[in-house]
Amino acid sequence: MYRLYGMAAAMLLILGMAGFSAMNRTTNYKPTKATVTTIDRTCDYVETTRDPDTNKVESARGLTDSCSATDEWEKQRDTIRKSGKRFAGDAAVHVSYTAPQDSSYRTADLHFTGRDDEFYDLQAGSEINVLVSNSDPSKIIKA
C-alpha cells in the first residue's frame, strides 16, 4: 500500500515540475525564430595504429579537432545517424534574431553535443525556434 502512495507522490512531483518548467518558459521567455549564421563543431576522434601482420591495435590516441578538419565528418555523418550511433563532440551554434521584447537585432550562441539531433541537422542559414529571456534579450534557449 505504501508503495502505491509513493508512486503516486512521485508522479505528482514529476508532473508538477514539468508544469512549473512550462509555465516558467511561457512567463519568462518570448518565442522567436533565429537564423544560424555559423557553426563551430568539434569532434573527438580516436586514431589507432595497427600491427600490419597481426592487425592488433598497437596504440590509440585521442584527438579533438574541428569536425570539418577531416573528410570523415561529411562521409560518416549520415551513415552514423542512420545506424543509431553518434559522434562524440560539441557544437557552438551562432545565431542571429530579432528580440520580440524591443525589436533589437541580437546574436547569441546555442550549444549542442553529439547526442542532440541539432548537432547533425543544423547548417548555416537554417532557421531554429528559440525563446528569448524577458529580463535579458541577449539570453536565449532552445524552444
| Residue 21 pLDDT exceeds 50 | no
pLDDT attached to residue 19: 45
pTM: 0.66
The tally of domains found in the chain comes to: 1
Residue 99 sits in which domain range? 30-142
Q: Nine-digit cell at 40? A: 563551430
Secondary structure E strands in the chain: 29-50, 57-66, 89-98, 105-113, 127-133, 140-142
Q: What angle do CA 64, 143, 8 make, to 5 degrees?
A: 105
Residue 36, pLDDT above cutoff 90: yes
C-alpha cell at 28: 519568462
* Helix H or strand E encompassing 130: strand 127-133
> Is the residue at 13 inside a domain?
no
Given a contact cutoff of 8 angstroms between Cβ atoms, the answer to whether 95 and 139 are in contact is no
Decide if 3 is inside a domain. Answer: no
Q: Integer distance in angstroms from the first to the last C-alpha of the chain?
A: 40
